[in-house]
Amino acid sequence: MSVALGLVTLSVGADEATRAKAREAWIERIKGELTLSEQQVTDIRTILETEKPAEVAGEERRQRSKEAIDKIDAVLTPEQRTRWAQMREKRRQGKGATTTPEASPAPTPQP
């Protein structure tokens, strides 16, 4: 599953087990970086499992990714939202102007 907002990006052809493993790795990474509660982790996991932007392409994929970002934003605290936006922006700048945060892999932890 290609995951929104600078999350792990996998090819559309990846099998579900690979997508699930990548999704869980990304969730664990942001759990630590954003200090997510268990309820937030559960909510984000549900959002990612239901949005599945990898199953579509082009504009529809971008739209689904944006929707996932908006839903994840809604479960974050204001401080977490700010940090997450900074992480996405840093990732976007590191990948160049043509890469959107929705299509970028998850950022690496800050020291």
For the stretch 51-88, pLDDT in tens is 775 667 888 888 888 889 999 999 999 999 999 999 88
Instruction: Report how far residue 100's alpha carbon sits from residue 62's, in angstroms, rounded to the nearest whole number.
Output: 9
Q: Count Cβ atoms below 10 Å from residue 33 Cβ, excluding itself.
A: 17
Q: Determine if the pTM surpasses 0.75.
A: no
Cβ atoms of residues 77 and 40 within 8 Å: no
pLDDT recorded at residue 103 = 46
Query: How high is the mean pLDDT of the chain?
Result: 77
> Residue 102 pLDDT > 60, yes or no?
no
77-to-9, 27, 36, 46, 99 alpha-carbon distances in Å: 25, 16, 9, 18, 26
pLDDT above 90: residue 96: no
pLDDT band at 42 (very low <50, low <70, confident <90, very high): very high
Alpha-carbon distance 6 to 12, whole Å? 16
